[in-house]
Structure 1
Amino acid sequence: MQTQRPISAITEEARYFEVPDAHLYTVLHKPTNPVARALLVGPFASERVSSYYPWVRWARYLAERQVEVLRYDYRGIGESTGVFEEMSFDKWSEDLQLLLNWFMSRTPKLPLLLHGLELGAILAGRNFHEGAGDALLMWSPPATANEALRSTLLQWAGFKQMLDSPENRTPASEYIKQLQQGALMDVQGYQWPGKLWCDSVGFELPSALSDEARAKSIYKRPVKNTKLGKDASPLVKPFRGYVEVKDFSELYSENFDWVSGALALATGEMNEAINREP
């Protein structure tokens, strides 16, 4: 088996990108001679922490293979500014569009991959549906944002029940009821507003994107929809309360092969360098 060898030195530029009433924390992974670009849209709120290490490693993996990568924290999450309880899916969608406009304006003009993880896959998919990007890669996209929020809530409620005495345990259904009634609820360090929960039900992945063959015929651009298994934890849920360091090189390699084909990159000097023996 040949060892894949990075073919480009990279630099990483952290900056704050201005959006209405806030600044997004972004990191640009820059290879010396990029042949494509990828905008990475990560998972929701508290999942940022658990998925951080493999997500950053994936960005660097792409950059080492001459794909310029932009990753960021949602407004109100992580290192970005903004008040989380004032956020909405529309605001997060608008922020992504602003980032896309800036990223696509860079020179030279290069093919662009949109890549989303869990809730980020819905955001990326909706922008792709509107015409952005030359290819779309989704990891474990839920059908609706509510599925992503619900799985986080159920896991959080389960942990709380383990810590509480039997007489003080609150079922997840009660928390859901409170959110539906408009309550503000602290879930894993983020203040969830009831409106965000209610709005999540109608914030959907475009139906055509759930089937790769159908998506290809409709959009005339490559789409990959991959459901990651439990072995992909902590990149995706469920995780067990700690962040386990894993080797995701096989996942990265398989997906990079698809990206190369989707963006017509796996030819010429790039392909030869990737497969060159060290």
Structure 2
Amino acid sequence: MQALTEAPGYLPQGEQSLYFVHHRAPGPCRAAVLLAGPLGLERAHAYIVWTRWARHLAARGVDALRLDYRGSGESTGRFEDMTLPCWEADLRAGLEYLRRERPGVPVVLHGLRLGALLAARVFQEEKAEGLLLWDPPESGRAHLMEVLRRKVAADNLEGTGGVARSREDYVAELEAGGFMEVEGFPWSRDFWRSAEAYDLALPARDDGRPWRVVHLDGRPAERCLAPGHGRSVRTPRPFFWTTSNRLLPELGELFDDGASFAAGVGAVGVSQGARS
């Protein structure tokens, strides 16, 4: 088996820079996947799995581009200046990079958790050839409320928040315009409000591009979010983005399903290119 190449670098993004790692397929490249990862502490917990997933794709002839949103990870910028639309722009920069590096190769947007919300929005406006969503929240506001629930539990358990407060107390503080530390990141009112009315934007019925929503809780088919485009895979709990205790969960079925989807998008792209 040929050795995999992992090329790190920075992309200019206004006055900031986006850190990325390009996992290159060792032979012919069938497709390229832009990985839109989760937010904050979920990113840290999922980091090892996310890297393993990128390498899994590359080993199967599919390039993968991991990037850190501005204000997080190794990218520059201040988290407190960021909003969800800012991170959509980061994904567009990643798409442009892949198109330059792999001209003519079909590109798949793949998002996990918050990244799924962002990837779905970008897919609406960009000419990516496929969309793969792992465990997407129903909306940006629902996702941030879930994170705040974890903050309430942690603060009350550890006594770090002073007098016990509810999520509604934290929301009122954000709406008042102050900064709030949440899982190590300073949330601003602009960030909080950018998630308002930020619903999961699934492709329209007349969008003929391949797309898939994958639930990771093993739910029955009738409970899948997108009939005809949904799939359920049972992965170990606690989920890999909620804890770092399980460093190497068994995710073979999930990885194989995702790689097969990306390769299928690549096959469709090659077929369309041959006919044009």
TM-score between the two structures when normalised by the length of structure 2? 0.84
The SS at the match of 2:101 is coil
- Change in CA separation of 1:106 and 1:60 when aligned onto 2, cut-off 3 Å: same
Amino acid aligned to 1:39: L
Deviation at 1:154, TM superposition (A): 0.8
Q: Which amino acid aligns with 1:60?
A: R
Amino acid at match of 1:251: L
In the alignment, structure 1 residue 24 sits paired with structure 2 residue 18: yes
Instruction: Describe how 1:170-189 pairs up with structure 2 within 5 A.
Output: 170-189=165-184
Residue 148 of structure 1 pairs with residue 143 of structure 2:
yes
| Deviation string, structure 1 residues 61-84 (Cα, Å, up to 9, x no partner) | 000001111011100011111011
Structure 2 distance, partners of 1:97, 1:165, is 38
Alignment RMSD (CA, Å):
2.2
Task: Kindly provide the amino acid, as one letter, of the partner of residue 163 in structure 1.
Answer: E
Structure 2 equivalent of residue 226 of structure 1: 214
2:229 matched residue in structure 1: none
- Structure 1 segment 198-217 matched on structure 2, within 5 A: 198-206=193-201, 208-209=202-203, 215=204, 217=205
Letter in 2 for 1:231: P
Q: Greater shift after overlay, 256-265 or 136-145?
A: 256-265
Offset from partner CA, 1:172-192 (integer Å, 9 cap, x none): 221122112222101111100
Question: Against the structure 1 CA distance between its residues 232 and 70, is the aligned structure 2 distance closer, same or farther, given a 3 Å change threshold?
Answer: farther
Q: Which residue of 1 aligns with 2:232?
A: none
Question: What is the rounded CA distance, in whole Å, between the counterparts of 1:166 and 1:192 in structure 2?
Answer: 15
What is the deviation of 1:58? Answer: 0.5
% identity of equivalent residues: 32
Per-residue deviation, residues 36-80 of structure 1 (Å, max 9, x unmatched)? 111000011221101111111100000000111101110001111
Q: 1:235 aligns with which of 232, 240, 249?
A: 240
Counterpart residue identity of residue 215, structure 2: K
Shift of 1:232: 5.5
Partner of 2:262: 259
1:232 to 1:226, Cα distance in 2 relative to 1, 3 A: farther
CA distance in 1, matches of 2:135, 2:178: 29
More moved, 57-66 vs 122-131: 122-131
Q: What amino acid sits opposite 2:264 in the alignment?
A: G
Q: Displacement, 1:143?
A: 2.5
Q: Structure 2 vs 1, CA of residues 232 and 10 (structure 1 numbering), >3 Å: closer, same or farther?
A: farther
3-state SS of paired residue (2:87): helix
Alpha-carbon spacing, 1:108–1:147, altered in 2? closer, same or farther (3 Å): same
1:105-133, Cα deviation, whole Å (9 max, x unpaired): 22442111110011111111111111331
Shift of 1:261: 2.5
Contact kept, 8 Å, 1:43 with 1:117, in 2: the verdict is: yes
Q: Distance in 1 between matches of 2:39 and 2:21?
A: 18
TM-score, normalised via structure 1 length: 0.83
1:161 aligns with 2:149: no
User: Is contact 1:39-1:113 (8 Å) kept?
Assistant: yes
Distance 1:166 1:234 in 2: 26
**One-letter code aligned to 2:236:** D
Q: Which residue in the other structure is 1:250 paired with?
A: 253
Structure 2 spans left out of the alignment, 5+ residues: 218-234, 271-276
